[in-house]
Structure 1
């Protein structure tokens, strides 16, 4: 069974809630799913990862949440080759912050692509000003992502 890792960057639990809500969709598509609340670079490099989904909220001025900072710093310092990594990004933010809206998700996306990873489809950006419950936007996006990227294995 292929492995999907959902790496979560969250401050108040919204991104973790999204990860928990979309997990059954991937299980139904034939994946073993592991939600990582304290992700490390070795989670991607030291064990098989057939697919990764990043659920990342933005804090402050476009910053990574505290639990995600060590992961992002590790990517920056270690510069692992991620050419075999296929991934998606669900970025959570608040458009009232202007230019830094979904800044953490956008920055992560750039970092991953710079390391050779292959994003499947477009990044989902969820605006807290428009969507009260982030999973209301994430669930249909994940369903479409699984279909459009032909990710179903079951």
Structure 2
């Protein structure tokens, strides 16, 4: 059975809610799904999953939430051979800040730098406009999974 790993960066739990709503869709599509809400780089690289999904909130001035800082630092410091990794990315932010979805955009760049291939477009959810990001995330995921 192909594997799908969902990596979550969250402050108040919104990104985790999105991940938990999408996981059953991936299971229905035939994936064995694991959600990582305290992710470490080895969960992504050892071995590479068939598919990865990142649900990333932005905090502060475009920063990663605390639960995701060690993951990004490890990726920055050690690097990773991510050729062959296929991934999707959902970024959640607040458009009243100039760093809207900054963490998601930064992670997208890092993953590409190490050879990963994003499938489809990155979804950016504006918390100023969307009351329930999980609903928008599920609608995006349904279309994204169809493209797989």
Q: Which runs of 5+ in 2 are unaligned?
A: none
1:28 corresponds to which residue?
Answer: 28
Q: TM-score, with normalisation over the residues of structure 1?
A: 0.94
Greater mean alpha carbon deviation, residues 120-129 or residues 37-46: 37-46
- Residues 60 and 69 of structure 1, relative CA distance in 2, 3 Å threshold: same
1:83 corresponds to which residue?
Answer: 83
2:3 corresponds to which residue?
Answer: 3
Number of residues of Structure 1 aligned to a counterpart in Structure 2: 148
1:127 corresponds to which residue?
Answer: 126
**Alpha-carbon separation, structure 1, partners of 2:82 and 2:48:** 12
Q: Which runs of 5+ in 1 are unaligned?
A: none
- Matched ranges for 1:57-136 at <5 A: 57-98=57-98, 100-136=99-135
Per-residue deviation at 1:48? 4.2
Q: Deviations over 1:30-81 (max 9, x none)?
A: 0010000111111111134000000010000000000000000000001111
**Alpha-carbon separation, structure 2, partners of 1:40 and 1:6:** 12
Match of 1:11, SS state, is: coil
After superposition, the CA RMSD in angstroms is 0.7
